[in-house]
Amino acid sequence: MKTAYLFPGQGAQFVGMGKELYDSNSQCRDMFETANGIIGFRITDLMFGGTPDDLKQTKVTQPAIFLHSVILAASLGDTFRPAMAAGHSLGEFSALVAAGALSFEDGLRLVVARANAMQKCCERHPSTMAAVLKLDDKTVEDICAAVSAEGETVVPANYNTPGQLVISGTNEGVARACERLKAAGGRALPLAVGGAFHSPLMEPARLELAEAIGQCRFSAPVCPVYQNVCARPVTDPVEIQSNLNKQLTAPVRWTATVQNMLSDGAAAFIEVGPGTVLQGMVKRIAPDADARSAE
């Protein structure tokens, strides 16, 4: 039986995340303390006993979710035997570390660099995202293209499930697209995010992160990692690095990722990290799929 391991992205955080791992497992505790040293502040204090607002800060959210996911995977020991792995957006970094393509330390440094670069980009260029429901991909793509042709930027950012996409762009671009998407029979819900993730507006952050990626050593993972930009299984370290360099400005092709995993023989999907969002997405893509949590 082939088991696919999935790693969540931003938005899955909650107060208390990871505390049980810290309290009950010395290896996990050591990894958390190593992370505190690398980050330069005690992120564990915010994860275990902070406020929801503390955890919403990008510089906290992204490393917190990464740490919970990767350390939970490490705690599984010999039972963690992935035939394939994937992560949603931020979760791709967790997947690469858990699969052995990146060291824990390098993965954490990249996540910190990513969070800081994205935060700066958001502050310089106010922008937003919106969830779109009840429309097919092509309708959403065509409407985004039409608005972008008028001089505003708006693009599909996350292909989450059939009939559920997220669009990303300038405030005006997303607002115009939402009006037209509603007129086409869809629902469009603004998201409480700081910027236009997975869009061309993230190019300054992409360039900054690419520098950090270039300083890391990538290895062949223990299993194929299905990367966001292509939705295909990748094992070559050079290709992994190249795809990671494109991730911040390219869409997350999650529907295709899950479909390709199923085609390649995935019999079970296990979500490793906070929340159950990815399990829900898997069930919407493939209602009969076996999807559950590592916890």
Quote the pLDDT of residue 29: 98
Could you tell me if residue 163 is inside a domain?
A: yes
Query: Could you tell me the residue range of the domain that residue 165 belongs to?
Result: 126-190
* The model's pTM: 0.97
Is residue 243 located within the same domain as residue 185?
no
Quote the pLDDT of residue 193: 84
Quick one: which of 96, 93, 130 has its CA closest to 113? 93
For residues 23 and 147, give the distance between their C-alpha atoms in angstroms, rounded to a whole number: 51
Domain count, the chain: 2
Quote the pLDDT of residue 1: 84
Instruction: Give yes or no: 24 in active site.
Output: no
Residue 5: CB partners within 8 Å, gap ≥ 6? 73, 80, 82, 84, 85, 86, 95, 98, 269, 270, 271, 272, 294
Measured between its terminal Cα atoms, the distance across the chain in Å is 20
Is residue 157 located within the same domain as residue 262?
no
One-character DSSP codes across 63-88: HHHHHHHHHHHHHTGGG---SEEEES
Is residue 93 located within the same domain as residue 133?
no
Is residue 109 located within the same domain as residue 137?
no
For residues 95 and 87, give the distance between their C-alpha atoms in angstroms, rounded to a whole number: 5
Give me the CATH number covering residue 51: 3.40.366.10
Write down the catalytic residue from 69, 75, 89, 168.
89
Count of residues for the chain? 295
Instruction: Give yes or no: 88 in active site.
Output: no
Last residue of a domain, one of 190, 209, 228: 190
Quote the pLDDT of residue 27: 97
For residues 143 and 228, give the distance between their C-alpha atoms in angstroms, rounded to a whole number: 23
Last residue of a domain, one of 190, 220, 246: 190
Last residue of a domain, one of 170, 190, 210: 190
Quote the pLDDT of residue 59: 87
Q: What residue ranges of the chain have pLDDT lower than 50? A: none
Quote the pLDDT of residue 286: 97
Quote the pLDDT of residue 275: 93
Residue 271: both structure tokens together: 């979500």
